Structure 1
Amino acid sequence: MGNVCSASVSCDAVFTRCLDCAIGKTAYISELKDNLDALQTELQKLLEARNDLMRRVNIAEQKQMKRTDQVRGWLSRVQNVEVEVGELQEIRSQEIEKLCLGGYCSKNCKSSYKFGKKVAGKLKVVATLKGEGVFEGVAEKVPLSVAEVKPSEATIVGLQLIFDQVWRSIEEEQVTIVGLYGMGGVGKTTLLTQINNTFLNISNDYDTVIWVVVSRDLQVDRIQEMIGQKIGLVEESWKNKSVEDKASDIFKILRNKKFVLLLDDVWERVDLTTVGIPLPSENVACKIVFTTRFLDVCGRMEVNRKFKVECLGEEEAWKLFEKKVGRETLSNHPDILELAQIVAKECGGLPLVLVTIGRAMTFKKTPQEWRYAIQILRRAPSKFPGMEKQVYPLLKSSYDSLPDDKIKSCFLYCSLFPEDFRIRKTKLIDCWLGENILDVYDQSEVHNHGYYIIGVLVHACLLEEEEIRGEHYVKMHDVIRDMALWIACEVKEEQQKFLVQVGVELTGAPKVKEWEDIKRISLMENKIESLKLSYNKFLTKLPSGISNLVSLQYLDLSWSTIIELPMELKALVGLKCLILENTRNLCTIPRNLISHFSALHILRMTGCSYNVSDQEIGEDSVLFGGGEYLLEELLGLHSLNVLSITLKSRYALQRFLSSRKFQNCTHGLSVRYFDDSRTLDVSSLADLKYLHRLNILNCEKLEELKIEHLKVVQKTLEPDHFHDLNRVQVVSCSKIRDLTWVVFVRNLKYLKIESCYELEEIISGRKLGEEFPEMMENLNLLSKLHSANIRNLPNLKRIYWKALRFPHLEEFYVRGCPKLKKLPLDSNSAKGQKIVISGSENWWKELKWENEATQNAFLPYFKPC
Structure 2
Amino acid sequence: MAVLSNLITKSFNLEDKMQIIERKFDILIARASDISTELEIEEQQLGKKRRREVDQWLRYVKVKKFEIVSLGEEVKTTRLLLPNMQLRNRIGRIFDEIEELEQQGRFPKGLVLNDVRNTRLPLLTPKLMDHMLEGNIKTVMKWLQDDKVCRIGIYGMGGVGKTTLIMHIHNRLLEGKIFFRDVCWVTITQSSTNELQNKIAKAVGLDLPNDENWRRRAAALSNMLSRIRKTLLILDDMWNHFPLDEVGVPVAGSGCKIVITTRSLDVCRRMECQKILKIEPLSERDAWKLFSGNLGNYQDLPDRLIEVAKSIVKECGGLPLAIRTMARSMNGVLYVSEWKNALQELKRPIRGQDDMKNEVFPILQFSYSRLNDFKLQKCFLNCLLYPEDTKIHRDELINLWIVEGLLEETESREEQFHEGHTILNKLENSCLLEAKNYNEKTGVKMHDLIRDMAINITKVSPRFMVNPGAELIELPHEKLWPEDLEKVSFFHNRIIEIPQEMSPRCPNLSTLFLQYNPLERISDPFFKQMKALKILNVSHTNIKKLPDSVSDLENLSALILQGCWNLSCVPSLTRLHKLRELDMRHTRIKEAPEGFDVLSNLRCLDLSEIKDLRMPLCKILPKFSRLQKLRLSLAIMGKDITNLRYLERLECWLVFNMNEWKKFIEIRHHWKINCYKFFLRGTRWGCNDRYDQLLNNFCNGSKRVLLVSKSIFDGRNDLKFPKNIQFLGINQCDFQVKGLIDAFPYFHNATELKVCEINKCEGIEYIWSPPPASSVITPPFTFSHFKKIHIRSCSNIKKLFPLALIQQKLLPNLLEIELVNCPHMTEIIALNEGQGSTRDYEDALLTLPHLKSITLINMPNLESICRGLLQCNSLVKVNKENCPMLNMIPISLPVICDSSEGTLRQVAGLSMQWWASLDKDYPKVVTEIRRLLNKRKLL
Q: Which TM-score tier does this pair reach, normalised by the shorter chain?
A: 0.5 to 0.7
Letter in 1 for 2:486: K
In the TM superposition, 1:263-302 aligns within 5 A as 263-281=235-253, 284-302=254-272
In the TM superposition, 1:348-747 aligns within 5 A as 348-443=317-412, 445-468=415-438, 470-487=440-457, 489-490=458-459, 492=460, 495-513=461-479, 514=481, 517-530=484-497, 531-532=514-515, 536=540, 538=542, 542=546, 546-561=550-565, 564=568, 566=570, 568-580=572-584, 583-584=585-586, 588=590, 590=592, 594-604=596-606, 611-613=613-615, 627-628=635-636, 632=640, 643-647=649-653, 649=655, 660-667=668-675, 673=692, 675=694, 681-682=706-707, 687=722, 712-713=745-746, 715-718=748-751, 721=752
Q: Count matched residues.
A: 711
What does the per-residue CA deviation read over 1:605-654, in whole Å, with 9 as the maximum and x for residues that have no partner? 5656663335999xxxxxx976437974x66667x665342227556995
Alignment-derived partner of residue 157 in structure 2: 183
Q: Secondary structure at the match of 1:204?
A: coil
Q: Secondary structure at the match of 1:572?
A: coil
Distance 1:454 1:55 in 2: 60
Distance 2:593 2:743 in 1: 37
Letter in 1 for 2:424: I
Q: Secondary structure at the match of 1:278?
A: coil
What does the per-residue CA deviation read over 1:188-240, in whole Å, with 9 as the maximum and x for residues that have no partner? 1111112211112224152211211111x222333333332343325xx8557
Structure 2: gaps spanning 5 or more residues: 1-22, 63-97, 498-513, 516-536, 620-631, 680-690, 699-704, 709-718, 769-780, 817-849, 860-864, 884-888, 916-924
Distance 1:56 1:335 in 2: 57
Q: Secondary structure at the match of 2:152?
A: strand
Distance 1:670 1:463 in 2: 39
Instruction: Report the alpha carbon displacement of residue 433 of structure 1 after superposing the two structures with TM.
Output: 0.8
Distance 1:641 1:425, change over 3 A: farther
Whether the 8 Å CA contact 2:32–2:58 is kept in 1: the answer is no
Instruction: Report the alpha carbon displacement of residue 817 of structure 1 after superposing the two structures with TM.
Output: 12
Q: TM-score, length-normalised on structure 2?
A: 0.62
Instruction: Report the alpha carbon displacement of residue 664 of structure 1 after superposing the two structures with TM.
Output: 2.7
Distance 1:759 1:393, change over 3 A: farther
Instruction: Report the alpha carbon displacement of residue 573 of structure 1 after superposing the two structures with TM.
Output: 2.7
User: Structure 2 residue aligned with 1:150, among 115, 123, 127?
Assistant: 123
Alignment-derived partner of residue 165 in structure 1: 139
Distance 2:178 2:594 in 1: 78
Deviates more, 1:297-306 or 1:565-574: 565-574
Letter in 2 for 1:449: E
What does the per-residue CA deviation read over 1:496-550, in whole Å, with 9 as the maximum and x for residues that have no partner? 2211111111223233423654221221221223443666274566556543443
Whether the 8 Å CA contact 2:386–2:489 is kept in 1: the answer is yes
Letter in 2 for 1:613: M
Q: Secondary structure at the match of 2:649?
A: strand
What does the per-residue CA deviation read over 1:283-313, in whole Å, with 9 as the maximum and x for residues that have no partner? x223221111111212211121111111112
Structure with the largest fraction of helix? 1
Percent of pairs with identical residues: 23
Distance 1:359 1:736 in 2: 77
Distance 2:559 2:740 in 1: 38
Structure 1: gaps spanning 5 or more residues: 1-38, 79-126, 618-623
Letter in 1 for 2:137: F
Q: Secondary structure at the match of 1:441?
A: coil
Q: Secondary structure at the match of 2:572?
A: helix
Distance 1:606 1:271, change over 3 A: same
Q: Secondary structure at the match of 2:252?
A: coil
Alignment-derived partner of residue 777 in structure 1: 810
**Structure 1 residue 312 corresponds to structure 2 residue 282:** yes
Alignment-derived partner of residue 250 in structure 1: 221
Whether the 8 Å CA contact 2:551–2:573 is kept in 1: the answer is yes
Q: Secondary structure at the match of 2:117?
A: coil
Whether the 8 Å CA contact 1:465–1:472 is kept in 2: the answer is yes
Instruction: Report the alpha carbon displacement of residue 595 of structure 1 after superposing the two structures with TM.
Output: 3.5
Whether the 8 Å CA contact 2:180–2:230 is kept in 1: the answer is yes
Distance 1:701 1:541 in 2: 47
Q: Secondary structure at the match of 1:196?
A: helix
Whether the 8 Å CA contact 1:189–1:264 is kept in 2: the answer is yes
Alignment-derived partner of residue 105 in structure 2: 134
Q: TM-score, length-normalised on structure 1?
A: 0.66
TM-align CA RMSD: 5.9
User: Structure 2 residue aligned with 1:232, among 199, 205, 210?
Assistant: 205
Instruction: Report the alpha carbon displacement of residue 337 of structure 1 after superposing the two structures with TM.
Output: 1.2
Instruction: Report the alpha carbon displacement of residue 663 of structure 1 after superposing the two structures with TM.
Output: 4.0
Alignment-derived partner of residue 204 in structure 1: 178
Distance 1:497 1:796 in 2: 68
Whether the 8 Å CA contact 2:707–2:728 is kept in 1: the answer is no
Distance 1:625 1:425, change over 3 A: closer
Whether the 8 Å CA contact 1:650–1:677 is kept in 2: the answer is no
What does the per-residue CA deviation read over 1:802-830, in whole Å, with 9 as the maximum and x for residues that have no partner? 77688xx9xx9x9x99999x9x999999x
Letter in 2 for 1:154: K
Distance 1:657 1:613 in 2: 27
Q: Secondary structure at the match of 1:154?
A: coil
Distance 2:578 2:401 in 1: 15
